[in-house]
Homo-oligomer: A and B are copies of this chain.
């Protein structure tokens, strides 16, 4: 399980201001900091306040690539912005994200095939996020079928079963864990899985505690990636032994230190 660093996002004031002023400083600082803390990808989102997302995403990709060797996860509902970013990515990127909506899947899967990109597919459609496991899996199957139809290797698809805040949708925790487990039964090799981790703790106290406990549970159910706070040391300290306990890394006494410094 690896972390996609969430911090370069126009929802944060320093990033929004940096984009407005075309000041690469804060973006590159966060790129370097997340990479040093073990992020495996950097999520880039220009945020909601930007008038024209196409040049903003292109700028964000360019300045981030100047500061970090990590692959990028281009995060936007504006697919022109994602395509503009893909055009200048120097290594295969991840597209974040596509719901099970026909015209959106048509465009994103074609784009992913052209640019050898990975895709985060969401188990939601026009009517929203289903609350039960069976409906989420039915949507996951549609994502797998589209992947196949575009001849994209299935392990380039990361399915996100969409967690909801535990304090208002408590029954969704077990449903998401069970969905993660069942996604791994859909094909061989199976699709990969991801989560927008911080959603689980929205509006709760002890957000970091809830995030790290949930990610460890999700790892036991087959989670491959999570968009989250790569600079949360306690999160890294939970993920590192979980990887050891799942026999994904070889045990040595300094596994936490090694994990935190190598970027998975």
How far is it, in angstroms, between the C-alpha of A219 and the C-alpha of B171 when the chains are bound?
16
How far is it, in angstroms, between the C-alpha of A200 and the C-alpha of B214 when the chains are bound?
20
Residues 224-245 of chain A: 1 if any B CB is under 8 Å from the residue's CB, otherwise 0?
Answer: 0000000000000110011011
Residues of B within 8 A of A209 (CB): 237-238, 241, 256
* Interface SS of A by simple majority: helix
The chain B residue with its CB closest to the CB of A218 is B220
Residues of B within 8 A of A245 (CB): 166, 173, 200, 210, 213-214, 217
Q: Are A241 and B206 in contact (CB under 8 A)?
A: yes
Q: A205-B253, A220-B217 are in contact. Are A170 and B247 (CB under 8 A)?
A: yes
Residues of B within 8 A of A166 (CB): 244-245, 251
How far is it, in angstroms, between the C-alpha of A220 and the C-alpha of B175 when the chains are bound?
11
The chain B residue with its CB closest to the CB of A168 is B251
Residues of B within 8 A of A244 (CB): 166, 170, 173, 210
Give min CB distance, A253 to chain B, whole Å. Answer: 5
| Residue from the list B167, B173, B238 in contact with A246, Cβ < 8 A | B173
One complex includes copies of this chain to the number of 2
Residues 189-210 of chain A: 1 if any B CB is under 8 Å from the residue's CB, otherwise 0?
Answer: 0000000000010001110011
Q: Are A217 and B219 in contact (CB under 8 A)?
A: yes
Q: Are A171 and B242 in contact (CB under 8 A)?
A: no
Give min CB distance, A198 to chain B, whole Å. Answer: 14
Residues of B within 8 A of A159 (CB): none
Q: Are A250 and B170 in contact (CB under 8 A)?
A: yes
How far is it, in angstroms, between the C-alpha of A8 and the C-alpha of B175 when the chains are bound?
38
| Residue from the list B177, B204, B256 in contact with A253, Cβ < 8 A | B204
Give min CB distance, A10 to chain B, whole Å. Answer: 30
| A221 contacts chain B at the CB level, 8 A cutoff | yes
How far is it, in angstroms, between the C-alpha of A12 and the C-alpha of B254 when the chains are bound?
28
Q: Which 4 A-B pairs have the closest CB atoms?
A: A217-B220, A173-B245, A220-B220, A213-B241
Question: Which residues of A come within 8 Å of B, CB atoms?
Answer: 166-167, 170-171, 173-174, 177, 200, 204-206, 209-210, 213-214, 216-221, 237-238, 241-242, 244-247, 250-251, 253-254, 256
A-B contact pairs, 22 of them (CB 8 A): A166-B251, A173-B244, A173-B245, A173-B246, A174-B246, A177-B220, A204-B251, A204-B253, A205-B253, A206-B241, A210-B241, A213-B216, A213-B245, A214-B241, A216-B220, A217-B217, A217-B219, A217-B245, A217-B246, A218-B220, A220-B220, A220-B221
